[in-house]
Chains A and B, each alone.
Chain A
Amino acid sequence: MEPAEAEFLAEKELVTIVPNFSLDRIHLIGGDLGPFNPGLPVEVPVWLAINLKQRQKCRLIPPEWMDVAKLEEIRDQERKEDTFTPMPSPYYMELTKLLLNYASDNIPKADEIRTLVKDTWDTRIAKLRLSADSFVKQQEAHAKLDNLTLMEINTIGTFLTQALDHMYKLRSNLQPSESARSQDF
């Protein structure tokens, strides 16, 4: 899966905005979006929020986990633990990128937040690399990976699955069996 596709899925998450226009309830195929009144916060999916912000029709409110103290806590927790800690949102990476790109003026201390999220990401990817390495070395058949977000799995996923497939093919060709495929013409 491409990172762009992971971002597409992340855009379905809900985020709070404060519109500066008014519109009554709209009935989308995916569900209803509440009446919009200027000055009153309302929840919309990220794809709509970004679009409205670009047209200068609203102000974005950062999710409650996107705050320096909270992110520092998460980063330190991640560094302490050997396994993966639960992340505040399964799409934290994509949401950070989208919100900081399009609405950094609505988010206090945007640069610090960017650095903190990047640090957490680097720690998690390093842990992931180590564990993938040991998975392949010990030729495990199964791994449990809770608390990993889609973006992280994608980053390493295609490479890992293809490498494992190759190794399986090499291993099964070592043992000649009657089901060995060979082309007879």
Chain B
Amino acid sequence: NEKFAPELLESKPEIIECVVEQLDHMEANLKRAKKGDLKVSVHHMEIERIRYVLSSYLRCRLVKIEKFFPHVLEKEKSRAEGEPSILSPEEFAFAKEYMANTETYLKNAALKHMPPNLQKVSLLKSVPKPNLDSFVFLRVLERQENILVEPETDEQREYTIDLEEGSQHLIRYKTIAPLVASGAVQLI
């Protein structure tokens, strides 16, 4: 889901913590029990596979944070009390540092030398926003009814479709964004 969604999705610290814990546990076991070459290598292979998926997920999130950093921080600042966070504490610290670094760099490289009334730049306006209208492929996990499909051209009219379980579709991200967040569909 993270790979194909145009915006940064909710952070899932519980899942990540659980996976990291399992990996550490398994590695500790392997270090202790040095017998039985085959068992050890099978466990080791599985650890490598899981580690690959985990790091690819985290890398994907970091790429998106770097790409959209002012909007991500803005969203985090303005989110309501009960809503889930889209950044983990480490990611939040990273994003803030990245923003501070970029601002300092721009100031030192260019803005310092410009006339005083032009020395501010709004990063929120200059960095492009995530494109929520991009098309994505999805697979339906839970049946949904009456999803509105907006028209592309002026001649078309909007219509509704039902999403059957197990079917696959190609549609704009904006319409199905809440379904991704709730886990009713999976991006492929």
Q: Which of the 9-residue segments B71-79, B81-89, B91-99, B146-154 touches chain A? A: B146-154
Q: Which of the 9-residue segments B7-15, B44-52, B61-69 touches chain A? A: B44-52
Scan residues 135-188 of chain B and give those whose CB is less than 8 A from a CB of chain A: 135-137, 149-153, 156, 161, 166-172, 188
Q: Is the interface of B mostly helix, strand, loop or mixed?
A: mixed
Q: Which of the 9-residue segments A59-67, A97-105, A118-126, A153-161 touches chain B? A: A153-161
Residues of A within 8 A of B39 (CB): 23, 26
In the complex, which of the residues B23, B52, B150, B166 contacts A141, with contact meaning CB atoms closer than 8 Å? Answer: B150
> How far, in angstroms, from A28 to B44 measured CA to CA in the complex?
10
Contact, CB under 8 Å: B23 / A29: yes
Number of interface residues of A (CB under 8 A): 36
Q: Is the interface of A mostly helix, strand, loop or mixed?
A: mixed
B38 interface residue (CB < 8 Å to A): yes
Question: Told that A28-B42, A142-B170, A171-B153 touch, could you supply 11 new A-B pairs with CB distance under 8 A?
Answer: A23-B36, A26-B39, A26-B43, A28-B43, A29-B46, A30-B46, A30-B50, A143-B169, A146-B167, A161-B137, A164-B135
Residue ranges of A at the interface with B (Cβ–Cβ < 8 Å): 1, 5, 8, 21, 23, 26, 28-30, 33, 47-48, 51, 57, 135, 139-146, 148, 150, 153, 157, 160-161, 164-165, 168, 171, 183-185
